[in-house]
């Protein structure tokens, strides 16, 4: 208990000292990059189509039919989704969570026989899929993505998924989203680093000795480690095509890099909008059940 309390105390000290400067740094770092898009010449956004070797899934719902393609660059998610579709796993399950201008979510096996009062979203298949982040696949309108819990590896649920409806953003809104996203990821990395026993001991020694300057210098050295690690593993680069898409077509950019996008709709966007517009109960479950049935088209 004493170790846990000490760890919590030093983590709080470390986070409080570093995160304030992280926030200002993120603001200075991200905003100029986004503003460069003012010089970007918009390109025609192509109509969603599938490559010859991309698998297609038909999602039939009570409100119409959607067709999604599965990306080959996310093979573990693709193959798992295909397996579940072939097994009929998704047939008669509900879109149990619907939030307009955000997404529609389904795939909870508990939803198949749930009554109208049951809170859904906790059902699963007993395994996770390792994250497969591909920079060019982002949370644009129509993106097919894997839901997950708050596990640090960002591994996906073995069955639950969502389809992005999203919304369009202004340039200023995108700046805020990217700043916040960068900061939250660095905070998570910092928190994990600060759990190290050696770091805990060093922080305690410096604080106990009243060496404020040395304490601050040590904190700054940890911050530099996080910056280097972050830039190596998750380079903070802006894809102008993606920014343009969020400005003109829409999506949910704050989810990029946190949830695996493994496919996208190529038809049925009007069905997506109908489902997203459904009247919901507290907890975002539609008042009227919206069931699904899936089959492979190729």
Q: What is the pLDDT of residues 70-111, one digit of tens each?
A: 999 999 999 999 999 999 999 999 999 999 999 999 999 999
Residue 172 pLDDT exceeds 70: yes
8 Å CB contact between 295 and 84: no
Q: What average pLDDT does the segment 134-163 reach?
A: 96
**DSSP code at position 98:** E
Residue 12 makes CB contacts below 8 A (sequence gap 6+) with none
Task: Flag whether pLDDT at 11 surpasses 80.
Answer: no
pLDDT for 26: 41
DSSP code of 254? G
Tokens standing for 249?
A: 């077509």
Tokens (6 digits) for 192: 């994990």
pLDDT of residue 72: 98
Task: Specify the pTM.
Answer: 0.80
Residue scoring higher pLDDT (230 or 263): 263
Q: What is the pLDDT of residue 9?
A: 53
Q: Which of 100, 14, 113, 96 is nearest to 61 (CA)?
A: 96
Residues 131-146 have pLDDT tens digits of: 999 999 999 999 999 9
Which of 278, 27, 74, 260 has its CA nearest to residue 165?
278
pLDDT in tens, 26-42: 444 434 345 444 455 66
If pLDDT is split at 50, 70 and 90, which confidence band does 149 have? very high
pLDDT at residue 130, as a whole number: 98
Indicate whether 24 pLDDT > 50. no
Q: What architecture does CATH give domain 55-168+249-296? A: Beta Barrel (2.40)
Quick check: 195 pLDDT over 90?
A: no
Coil, helix or strand at residue 30: helix
Q: Say yes or no to pLDDT of 23 above 50.
A: no
pLDDT value at 199 more than 90? no
Q: Assess whether pLDDT exceeds 90 at residue 274.
A: yes
Domain ranges in the chain?
2-38+172-233, 55-168+249-296
């Amino acid at each position: 208990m004493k170790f846990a309390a000490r760890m919590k105390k030093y983590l709080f000290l470390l986070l409080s000292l570093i995160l304030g400067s992280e926030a200002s740094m993120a603001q200075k770092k991200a905003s100029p990059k986004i503003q460069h898009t003012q010089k970007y010449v918009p390109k025609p956004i192509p109509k969603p189509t599938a490559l010859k070797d991309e698998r297609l899934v038909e999602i039939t719902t009570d409100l119409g039919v959607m067709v999604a393609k599965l990306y080959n660059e996310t093979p573990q998610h693709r193959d798992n989704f295909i397996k579940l579709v072939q097994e009929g796993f998704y047939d008669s399950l509900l879109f149990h969570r619907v939030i307009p201008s955000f997404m529609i979510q389904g795939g909870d096996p508990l939803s198949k026989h749930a009554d109208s009062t049951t809170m859904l979203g906790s059902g699963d298949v007993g395994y996770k899929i390792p994250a497969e982040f591909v920079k060019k696949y982002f949370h644009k309108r129509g993106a097919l993505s894997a839901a997950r819990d708050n596990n640090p590896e960002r591994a996906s649920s073995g069955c639950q998924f969502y389809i992005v409806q999203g919304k369009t953003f202004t340039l200023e809104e995108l700046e805020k989203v990217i700043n916040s996203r960068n900061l939250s990821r660095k905070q998570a990395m910092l928190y994990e680093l600060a759990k190290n026993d050696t770091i805990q001991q060093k922080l305690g020694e410096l604080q106990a000795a009243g060496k404020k300057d040395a304490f601050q210098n040590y904190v700054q050295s940890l911050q530099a480690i996080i910056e280097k690690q972050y830039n190596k593993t998750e380079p903070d680069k802006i894809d102008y095509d993606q920014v343009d898409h969020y400005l003109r077509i829409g999506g949910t950019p704050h989810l990029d890099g946190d949830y695996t996008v493994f496919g996208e709709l190529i038809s049925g966007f009007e069905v997506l909008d109908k489902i997203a517009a459904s009247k919901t109960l507290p907890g975002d479950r539609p008042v009227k059940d919206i069931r699904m049935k899936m089959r492979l088209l190729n």
